[in-house]
Structure 1
């Protein structure tokens, strides 16, 4: 099958540091190539891929040192190139939210769109009602709740290369927090849990500009006043085996409708159990009592950490390989690609629209 993969351009494919969507696209693309398919990746020039690369920007946006840059212009350039070459592909798989809808109104049945972000934003329902002809993929069943009426083709949980991280089967003596420092990720909860247990906590996370004030006012004082807590900063894939594999457990104390939560399966790939709050996709990802524990409050989390240290880390790794490998993810997508090729587009005419492209932005 001839497949185009179209990721957002904010991070490299795969990302050098933090980045969920582009990391998943990298694993999916390589797995599809390994399964014998002809895959073309439309990404920035530094992409590392087994597919044919079509470079649509010199480098990913976030780490580009240029002072003045336009993410909108970059994505319009990308989508224009994809449309120009659309006849080369059997399926065009978009990971760019709704940005491409106006560009591909004539051929929605040739497309598949995976939505990677939260969907409870005010303006989204109107978009997915207006362009109901585009088949969509959710990354968890829970993600769909704000827009159940959308044209859902299926749910595909994220996966990643089974060879990327090396598991460790002996629990370490610290807890890990990985990802992003923001109010919805609740690093303050992780610090409180570690303090109550008297265990070290290592935080490897980025701080977005939008969250800098939150970090400076709410989190940094907790770190500076607590000798048990160590802030490492952002880390890349090369550091994660040691960071996650060396931990007794990963803390995932979220307070928002997490669409998936890639760090949970990264920990599982390292054999490390996860203690996660029951929000969003968590009950779909964590097998309670097998790959970790699902909790509802701090008291439960403290108890769960102790219990998690007794879980079979080899079984944690085995469950990752069975459920969340890149190959498993790719096979699920291949089923949806086949459906897209054999099914007629929904009998839904697109509504006339006058959306200005300079008002469209990605919500990643």
Structure 2
């Protein structure tokens, strides 16, 4: 099958540090190539891939000081896809929906994975206008606000089995990993670690739009809790994997409808349990008492830290291998591609990934 993967241009594929969508596109692309498909990746020129790369811009737009208007580059990407669309059987979009008008005129099948939060007031009118557009959700929770859209499947993210190794002898620290944004509640992560008496390492990116929040709300907390908190900034590559694998637990005190939560399965692949608030897709991803603890508030999170010894890190890894590998993800996407190429629908009403509880 000849497949095009169209990535957002904010980060390279894969990204250095933060960038869950670009990371998923990388894992999916590599798995599809391994399955024998001919894959073309539309992404930044500094991307690394086994597929054929069509470079759109020199580097990730968020890392290019000369770039101010990211929209212009994504418009160029749409045109690059349209010009080459006759070469593909399926075009798989992972970007903002700028291409929807052009997709109606593509000479091939297409599908879109929506990676972000869906808002009825914003996405509702768009998806009613383009009601024929085939969509994939990354969790059942994500699709609920617009359940009537043309959903083909829910496909949970996956990781290569060899990318993260099991660590059975962790060090004595908790980890907050991701992005410094109010909805992810880094302030609560600090409070939870302080009350539990366990050191917290924070490896988090500060986007320009969240700089004021960080400087006014989080930086003072870090300074006031220097005996508890190590702020590492954005961490990528092998250092990021080591942080995840050696942590006693990942702390994920989100207070928003998280569409998936990639970092939870990255931790799971290392055998590291997650302590998470039960928002968004968390109950779909975590098996409470098996791969971590789903809690309601900070008090319950502190209690859960005291119970981390009951979590079997080998069991965490086993659940990952069963539910969240990139090969499983790729095979499910191939099912969707084949159904669309046959002129039918891959609609299945829900997630395909297996759940292991026990």
Q: What range describes the TM-score normalised by the shorter chain of this pair? A: over 0.9
Deviation at 1:237, TM superposition (A): 2.8
Deviations 1:273-319 (A, max 9, x none): 00110000000000111111111111211111222233111111111
Residue aligned with 1:85, SS:
helix
**Counterparts of 2:8 and 2:36 in 1: how far apart (Å)?**
24
Give the structure 2 partner of residue 276 of structure 1: 276
Deviation at 1:345, TM superposition (A): 7.7
Residues 273 and 316 of structure 1 are in contact (CA less than 8 Å); yes or no, is this contact kept in structure 2? Answer: yes
Deviation at 1:179, TM superposition (A): 0.1
Give the structure 1 partner of residue 3 of structure 2: 3
Deviation at 1:106, TM superposition (A): 2.4
Give the structure 2 partner of residue 223 of structure 1: 222
Give the structure 2 partner of residue 80 of structure 1: 79
Give the structure 2 partner of residue 120 of structure 1: 119
Give the structure 2 partner of residue 304 of structure 1: 304
Deviation at 1:161, TM superposition (A): 1.5
Give the structure 1 partner of residue 133 of structure 2: 134
Deviation at 1:232, TM superposition (A): 0.4
RMSD after superposition:
1.5
> Unaligned 5+ residue runs, structure 1?
347-364
Question: Is 235-244 or 337-346 further displaced after alignment?
Answer: 337-346
Give the structure 2 partner of residue 350 of structure 1: none
Deviation at 1:242, TM superposition (A): 1.4
Deviation at 1:122, TM superposition (A): 2.8
Task: Normalising by structure 2, report the TM-score.
Answer: 0.93
1:339 corresponds to 2:339: yes
Give the structure 2 partner of residue 56 of structure 1: 56
1:44 corresponds to 2:44: yes
Give the structure 2 partner of residue 351 of structure 1: none
**Counterparts of 2:175 and 2:254 in 1: how far apart (Å)?**
14
Detail structure 1 runs of 4+ shifted over 6 Å in the superposition. Answer: none
> Unaligned 5+ residue runs, structure 2?
347-358
Deviation at 1:344, TM superposition (A): 4.5
Give the structure 2 partner of residue 354 of structure 1: none
Residues 97 and 114 of structure 1 are in contact (CA less than 8 Å); yes or no, is this contact kept in structure 2? Answer: no
**How is 1:75-114 mapped onto 2 (pairs within 5 angstroms)?**
75-107=74-106, 110-114=109-113
Residues 174 and 199 of structure 2 are in contact (CA less than 8 Å); yes or no, is this contact kept in structure 1? Answer: yes
Residues 118 and 146 of structure 2 are in contact (CA less than 8 Å); yes or no, is this contact kept in structure 1? Answer: yes
Deviations 1:35-89 (A, max 9, x none): 11110001111110011111111211010121x4431111111111111111111
**Counterparts of 1:97 and 1:158 in 2: how far apart (Å)?**
18
Deviations 1:127-180 (A, max 9, x none): 000001110000000001211111101100011112112221123211000000
Give the structure 2 partner of residue 185 of structure 1: 184
**Counterparts of 1:241 and 1:306 in 2: how far apart (Å)?**
24
Task: Normalising by structure 1, report the TM-score.
Answer: 0.92
Question: Is 175-184 or 308-317 further displaced after alignment?
Answer: 308-317
Residue aligned with 2:183, SS:
coil
Residues 8 and 74 of structure 2 are in contact (CA less than 8 Å); yes or no, is this contact kept in structure 1? Answer: yes
TM-aligned CA distance change 1:30 to 1:305, over 3 Å: same
Bigger fraction of residues in helix: 2
Give the structure 2 partner of residue 158 of structure 1: 157
**Counterparts of 1:55 and 1:69 in 2: how far apart (Å)?**
19
